[in-house]
Amino acid sequence: MDEYIDILNELGERTGETCLKSEAHKKGIFHASVHIWIFDKHKNVLIQKRATDKDTFPNLWDISVAGHISAREKPLDAALREVEEEIGLIVTEKQLCFIGISKKRIEHHSNLIDNELHYIYVCEIDFKISQLKIQKEEVSAIKSIHLDDLIEKVKEPDFVPRTDNYYPLVFENIKNYITN
């Protein structure tokens, strides 16, 4: 679905200008998204398989939930919205813990350049796969995997590749969150 998003400067600040998400991806315009990692107290992490017709990384396993931040939307509001849209789970602000920001620029081809700032959240919540409703346009499957297994699996080619520091940041924060 195409939507208006805020254009960011090199520091990740809003410029006051907006454009369609499709235009941002076509021209490599810097913009923001949210990543939400959902896990339970037993270290089971929810992951999603990207839909077959996604422009980027179709059929690869990925983050529990991810999505673009709409124009004039706060990252936290986008995170809450995306969780409900993609998997039908309602979470509260108190359940989300912001852990950091990651930048990514990937030129998939000349008309598709991902140039994004990711706001990353973790969320500990008891979930049952059978009770989640996936948004079929975005997600083809979901499953839970133990954190220790996930740490090894993300190295395999059926997972979305990330920058070198991305997965260690997420996994360390999930470990710390569960032990506290």
pLDDT band at 137 (very low <50, low <70, confident <90, very high): very high
Name the band, by pLDDT with cuts 50, 70 and 90, for residue 179: confident
Domain ranges of the chain: 4-179
Question: What pTM value is reported for the model?
Answer: 0.96
pLDDT > 70 fraction of the chain, expressed in percent and rounded? 99
Q: Is the pLDDT of residue 41 over 80?
A: yes
Give me 131's structure tokens: 């009770």
- Residue 107 has a pLDDT of 95
Residue 178 has pLDDT above 90, yes or no: no
d(CA 147, CA 156): 15
pLDDT bracket for residue 177 (50, 70, 90): confident
CB burial readout 140-152, b (16+ within 10 A) else e: bebebbebeebbe
Average pLDDT over residues 8-22: 97
Task: Specify the CATH number of the domain 4-179.
Answer: 3.90.79.10
- Could you report the per-residue pLDDT of 62-118, keeping only the tens digit for each? 999 999 999 999 999 999 999 999 999 999 999 999 999 999 999 999 999 999 999
Pairing mode of beta strands 4-8, 31-39:
unpaired
Q: Which of 163, 125, 159, 139 is nearest to 82 (CA)?
A: 139
**Over residues 127-137, mean pLDDT:** 95
Q: Which residues pair with 142 in a beta bridge?
A: 48
